[in-house]
Copies of this chain bind each other. A is one copy, B any other.
């Protein structure tokens, strides 16, 4: 198994580093070997190692600290909600919303979900219905889908032992690490079901965020759809 020799060395090295992370040989939070050590063991110059690491730092997979070392970055999605919504407490704080899991069931995957998760149609999936609240006010209604075979342990967890953030649970209980995700935003008038959950009028404009989350190996692990009132929505972008 030899990588394509036509690619630059720093590219091939980058790919090998990714493979080590994907294989959980180096785990999130841990330091990878020093640049000198990597240069020696992969038989390239230190400058080449630096360039490969530069790429992964830019991709958000590694984090460098002068004098300490280079570490596998733990993806933090906590701030993702704040990227799109101005949610805050009455005191103006921003904190992670409380989670209330309304329902958990194992079902056959609807075809759209199966396609997104790249599993067989009608394969079993875990379906989670969840409400996220700040100061007891519902802010987001979420549906979450997980492939059953990878997340079997999750289906058996006592439901009220699950905290506000799911990704640490995936990691601890199912050995599945979320590394990245793509999100698609649209605006819809909310249906009666979700309107009741969010305690707003049916037909109120809501922002729908569809997120497909991947492991380090770019295999899709979770699909979710979140809805929040459009009045709370705000997004900022840099254009060049």
Contact = CB atoms under 8 A, between A and B. Distances in A.
Interface of A: 59-61, 73, 75, 77, 80, 83, 179-187, 189, 205, 207, 211, 230-231, 233-240
Contact of A184 (B77, B179, B211, B236): B236
A75 B239 CA distance: 9
A60 B235 CA distance: 21
What's the number of copies of this chain in the assembled complex? 2
Contact of A205 (B60, B182, B183, B205): B205
Contacts of A235: 184-186, 235
B230 A182 contact: no
Contacts of A185: 233-237
A172 B75 CA distance: 46
A167 B239 CA distance: 14
B207 A187 contact: yes
A185 to B, nearest CB: 4
B211 A187 contact: no
Contacts of A60: 240
A140 B236 CA distance: 19
